[in-house]
Structure 1
Amino acid sequence: MTDVLILGGTGWLSGRIAAHALGAGATVTCLARGARPAPPGASLVLADRDEEDAYDVVSGTDWDHVIDISSRADHVSAAVRALGDRAARWTFVSSMSVYRDDETVGTDESAPRHPAAQEAEEYDYGPQKVAAEDAVQDALGDRALLVRPGLIVGDGDPSDRFGYWAAAFLRALDEPVLVPPLHGRKAQIIDVDDVAAFVVAATVTGAVNAIGGVRDLEDVLRTVRAATGHIGQVIVGDEERLVAEGVEYWAGPRSLPLWLPPEMAGFMTRSNARYTESGGTLSPLSDTVERVVADERERGVDRERRAGLTRTEERELLDVFAR
């Protein structure tokens, strides 16, 4: 039986990874602060990764597989120092945000990365992931896999980026929905369960872009809309006007999620060839959308969320575009 240690294991993605490892017959230990429960069947070791003794309880065990998803390089470096010699295999879940070129279409894992974060610098997600990758690769070498997901979607997603669109169409019913400029805009998405399954089962090493195929953003939103049964108008906003009205790109409050500036054409058009060649699977978009729509119905389409427009904000903007 495989002994798997997940540094985390109680969050959205890490919890799915733990569940997939359990489903594959592994013995799973999650190391976390304990704010949330571990998945049923997993053991939970309470630890604060800010503390020097965070790994004391688990550092005396030989692990078949250690999995870390942290976005803090100091946490990753400390884990590698404490556990690197006890791990037969190490997977670090990194991010597409390590890449500094968002303009070139079709880049693969060899694309240039941001400079690694330095200790004294203000926190920056991409450079932190780069520094974490370096710590893992330098210590583990050919025992290490660096998984670089892009836009992870699915039910329960706490970012609300993809789920926003299901909620927007559901709450509008037969009324209009505002969407961003769509011509030439692309989207690459990957189901959270596909990422989790790959992290658990992959046998390759080095870096892998874990991301879906390139799709037209218009087709993605059309699929979501069809699944919700929305019959109102779809109003395409003008880019310059949206920006002038303070609507944000990609994510966050007062945003139109998944919308990117034209100059970022490479951000959602990266190569996933190594992922698929290494056994990575891609769930049908319609299946993922069906789960997301059901999840948004259950959690409430008018709830406070981390990304998108409120319905009031959306109506105000629709009035602007109707003038």
Structure 2
Amino acid sequence: MYTVVVLALPDAIAFDMATPIETFGRVRLPDGRPGYRLVVAGHEPSVQAGPLRLAIDEELDAIERADLVVVPGRNDPLQPSPPAVLAALRAGAERGTRIASICVGAFTLAEAGLLDGRDATTHWLAADELARRHPAVRMNPDVLYTDNGSILTSAGAASGLDLCLHIVQRDYGVAVAADAARLAVAPLHRPGGQAQYIVRNRATSRTSTLERALSWIEANAHRDLTLADIAAAAGMSVRTVTRRFKDETGQSPMQWVSGVRIRHAQDLLETTDHTVDRIAAQTGFPSTSNFRAQFGQLLGVTPGAYRKVFRPQSSRV
């Protein structure tokens, strides 16, 4: 039996704490024995987790006996973590204890120096900030989870469940993990490399000089657009609009257009039974094959696979 310590941090996200407790706590081996022993540990007798106040089972020295430590996100991940917690995590990592983070719990791991030089992910909204604060981390904001062997990270809340099931499969194999997935009413296999289903084409400034152009693209992305069309809509030269897009979005104008088209296609895949061919035409892609290629490149799944996740009652692809 593996011992899992769920770390109780001040201002922890309750969902992030509940995910490993419920997932690992319900794992049963073929002979009926539990697969994991669950412990909630912290450096204080109790912590506030949103509207909940949680009593702590054990102190931080429980980490010394852990096979796996799970670090939940905090509602304000930019707040410094208690030094005792960081020291305990570093000591656990030095012993080879597996340490996993849920969502923005990656900030705590990064603060402890455990992600330096390693692949990591976190919620897509927080990924840029984590990368800015911890440049030694190899951030990958477009995956569901990362597994570096002893250090693991996951993206948003649901990805924490994916990571937990991945760990169960590592520990006990596919059959036990499949049973755990059925109990959670969740798919067993969502690979860590799968995208977070987010097209990250957001301008970096709320006072963007491209506001006029971005609004125009949003309304006209279904048309056969050219760079000259975008420049005219922005009231700039082609050279200037290209430079502004690079400076303010990190993308070329046509990359931005592709992102808008993909977002519009996501909406149609989620809300209609239109065929993929029809959606490709409706959203401005020159061909269905081009749509499939760009969708897969940005999101890591096919349009049909995406629809099965977000509109499972539909059978048309």
Q: Same fold (TM over 0.5)?
A: no
Greater gyration radius: 2
Greater fraction strand: 1
Q: RCO higher in 1 or 2 (8 Å CA, sep ≥ 6)?
A: 1
Which structure has more helix as a fraction of its residues? 2
